[in-house]
Chain A
Amino acid sequence: MRKLVGRYVFGPSSNGLSLASRASRRRMSWLTGAFLIGASLSQTLPVEAAKIRGKVVGFKFLRNPVWVEAQDPSRHLFSFREAVPTVPSDVRQLYPHIPKEICVVALAATAQKAPPPVLIRVGGGRTTPVTIVVPPMTQLSFQNTDPFPHRLFGVGIGTFSPNDTMRGGNRDWTVPAPGTYEIRDESAPSLRMWIIAEPNVAAIAYPSLRGEFGLNINEPGEYTIQAYFAGKATGPATVVKIDQADVEMKTPVTLAKVADKSAGDKKDADKSDQDKSDDAKSDDGKSGAENSKASDGKSQEK
């Protein structure tokens, strides 16, 4: 891989964290493809870096907390809401848009350096990505991509008070210490973002719609692969040993085995749809029960 210096950028052309200047982002993504521009979390990418390829499954059992809240009639977020019967019931579940909401992380055994500033796009009622895991002291640059102002603030974060970010404008914030932070927008209640500050983060990646992801690893060693969703670790942690060669994870990372009740499924208006979804097969063709067997506990990949 080429050695590039620039900012981590999330864009529609990328399903992960890529290292590219903003100007070259589109050209690079055009040349290498969205998936291959990958997600490696380091300031410099050595040419000999290896890649961990894997797949997440069971994400249809997760529920986007914002969307689940929005379907609660008592919140008055709509005057009518009707299911289209021709759409399959499992699709009608409010599972997350994983290219933006599931962050797959490779955790090293030791603490890692903070990467260059990471660009977070703010637009379309959410941030891109929605969940991100970074080492502490990482600078995040929030860029407003909407044609109207946003007013971001950190929930309970004194250093991130509500402030306007105009169209095309940026707002920088450095993650101060390990922990979980939530960012919201006073002018867009649906916008919620989670930042997890984890010292050992070596690389992060975002899966495609099909669940496939690739982590660029700079240093050989043993890494723990963990997925994060809505500010929390989701699914089992998988330990992967990597040398010079790329590693293919044989067992997919199962994010959830059954529908996540805590995410508000009990409020789901369409109970019959919910019942059907429990029996629905996940995107890899296995049922939820099969997935749970396959990913029970930590697994070893080499």
Chain B
Amino acid sequence: MLLTRFWMVLLSLLYGAAVFVLFLAMSMYNRAGTRTMAERLSSDSQVVSWYLKEDARLRAAQLIPFAVNQQLARALQKSSEADGKIPTAAQEKVQVALRAANAKIAEDMTFDAVFAVDQHGRVVAQLGYQQALGMDDFELGGYPVVADALHGYIRDDTLVLDRVYRVVARPVEIEIGQPPAGAVIGARIVDDKFARELSTRTNAAIGFFARGARVASGAPEGFDKSQLDQIVGDLEEMSKDEAFREKGRSNMRVIDGLLGVQYSRLPGEAWALGAGYAVARLPDQVTSPVGFFQKSDDKDKKQANWIVAALMALGATALGLLFSYFEHTRPLHYLRREAIRLAKGELDQLHPSKFRGIFRKIASELNDGIDQVAAKGGVPRKAADLKQVLGDIPDQPQMSAFAFAGDAAAAPPSSVVSSPQASRPLPSAPQRGAPPAPGRRAPPSPKRDAEEAAAAASSGANAKAAQWRQVYEEFVTTKQQCGEDTENFTYEKFEVTLKKNEAAIVQRHAASGVNFSVYVKDGKAALKASPVRDT
């Protein structure tokens, strides 16, 4: 069994190593996944930043139709010249000019609100900002983006007002070389629509936040947008992030192991207010070695070398089977064969030298056991139930059991008269190296065998008839003692029954004869048949 055991240990070690490698691979995979996610998040964040900048430039270009509109410029100039109230005529003209210029903007580049301000920073007219309707003194001149535009600059900003706005502004010139008559400001609300649009163009899951709350979010297909709500719970902790505070972009953060996030500040006043956006990705990680199967797709499965894996498994199985065959099945089979031979009497004892390993020891110990039994002159065997062997037996005579001679445990009850041969001992096996046991017959010569056989046949028939007669008498006596009727119970009938049963028992058990004995069963007389075997 050494090889089998060695093979089992080897397989266990290999199995342990495989599990260890799987855990190792899991750790490496997760680490690589984390690194990749950080790179992707950084890339997403950069792309969003570029997009916002590019979008601001493109939208600033959409303000050109406003800036070159002379009607608008003249009306703003009129308004700027008025230190008091904005002239109504100027307001109306600016409103008309705004509408006209706004109508020329392509649909995907339209603003949510457009403001025209004079040199004082007062809003002369506006489109889309319903909150300020009816406010005569509404102005924007204090914001750096508007002040810059009034001083001849084009720039963008992100304002956190009632909502978050991406804003672009440019001056409205009435004449080259003159101060601007005013400025025009275009605003885009940072809402879900904006975020969706941005997400579609950058393929990033993005959530905007301001004042500690998520204000908008958008995600590509396959990404559950509601997961971006998790950033709300992380904002307070994130605000302590040194990189976010100093560089405006946080390091990658993983929220509850479910979402990888990188935060960035929005350019403009929003920067100072801590408003920004978060790009998110789902972590590409496995939680257990089995997770690799869930992660793998058809392509991965196709690339895996199944043939090698199957051959290795088959090879390992074959080796294991081979080892167990040589070390277990084959010796066991040989032991069984030898045991059968021993049982048939072809062998006096097993030959330990033909066995190996544990089987050699078993054979040796079996031999010792046989020797022990033989030394004691045999051991009575248990009587077999005649009914189990022969099935139902007719009432006359009732024979419900049989027993091998010498089986004390199976002997009839004390009330039963046993036959003289019932306690005949089993023949003893020859003891190795020891003289023949007492009573054991010496091997007879052929001539004497023939004579003895003829004498024995003659005396045997008589003895059996006498024995059966004796059994019959005991049986009748017992029946009478049990109160049974014996009037028609003749010896002839009894003999027929015994002959029939004897023949059946001899045939079934390859016995040389049958001993019958009488006993009481369930208050009735019964016969027990015990097969007798030659030694």
Contacts and interface: CB of A to CB of B under 8 A. Distances in A.
Contact of A88 (B85, B136, B179, B273): B179
B138 interface: yes
Nearest to B67: A84
B196 interface: no
A87 interface: yes
Nearest to A209: B119
B248 A76 contact: yes
A33 interface: yes
Contacts of B273: 187, 189
Contacts of B60: 80
Contacts of A4: none
Nearest to A78: B155
Contacts of A87: 151-152, 171, 173, 179-180
B132 interface: yes
Contact of A80 (B57, B82, B162): B57
Interface residues of A, number: 54
A123 B86 CA distance: 17
A258 B273 CA distance: 34
Interface in B46-62: 49, 52-53, 56-57, 60
A34 to B, nearest CB: 4
A152 B80 CA distance: 29
A290 B56 CA distance: 43
B289 interface: no
A86 B176 contact: yes
B272 A123 contact: no
Nearest to B129: A147
Contacts of B233: none
Contacts of B170: 84
B422 to A, nearest CB: 116
B140 A125 contact: yes
A123 B146 CA distance: 13
A147 B129 CA distance: 10
Contacts, number: 171
Contacts of A219: none
A70 interface: yes
Interface string B71-96: 00000000010111110000000000
Interface in B282-325: none
B212 to A, nearest CB: 13
Contact of B120 (A67, A83, A99): A99
Interface in A172-224: 187-191, 208-209
A278 to B, nearest CB: 16
A131 interface: no
Interface stretch (B20-28, B187-195, B261-269): B261-269
Contacts of A251: none
A83 B152 contact: yes
B121 interface: yes
B157 interface: yes
Contacts of B120: 12, 97, 99, 209
Contacts of A93: 151
B83 A124 contact: no
A189 B144 CA distance: 10
A15 B265 contact: no
Given A99-B120, A125-B146, A12 B157 contact: no
Contacts of B265: 76
B154 A84 contact: yes
A262 to B, nearest CB: 19
A87 B152 CA distance: 6
B135 interface: yes
A77 B267 contact: yes
A224 B403 CA distance: 146
A121 B85 CA distance: 16
Given A75-B271, A83-B152, A66 B144 contact: yes
Contacts of A79: 49, 52-53, 56, 156, 267-268
B414 interface: no
A191 B152 CA distance: 21
Given A94-B147, A209-B83, A84 B152 contact: yes
A208 B286 CA distance: 70
Nearest to A212: B83
Given A70-B144, A87-B173, A189 B269 contact: yes
Contacts of B171: 84, 87
Interface string A55-86: 00000000010110011000111111111101
Nearest to A148: B162
Contacts of B176: 86
Given A26-B85, A64-B147, A77-B268, 7 more contacts: A12-B84, A79-B53, A82-B155, A91-B179, A92-B153, A94-B148, A125-B141
The 7 closest A-B pairs by CB, nearest first: A126-B142, A87-B152, A125-B142, A70-B144, A124-B139, A34-B83, A125-B143
28 contacts: A12-B120, A12-B136, A33-B84, A34-B83, A67-B144, A71-B144, A76-B248, A78-B145, A83-B153, A83-B154, A84-B173, A87-B179, A88-B152, A91-B151, A95-B151, A97-B121, A99-B120, A123-B137, A123-B139, A123-B142, A124-B121, A124-B142, A126-B142, A147-B131, A148-B131, A148-B161, A148-B162, A189-B272
Interface of B: 49, 52-53, 56-57, 60, 80, 82-86, 119-122, 131-132, 135-148, 151-157, 160-162, 170-171, 173, 176-180, 248, 265, 267-269, 271-273
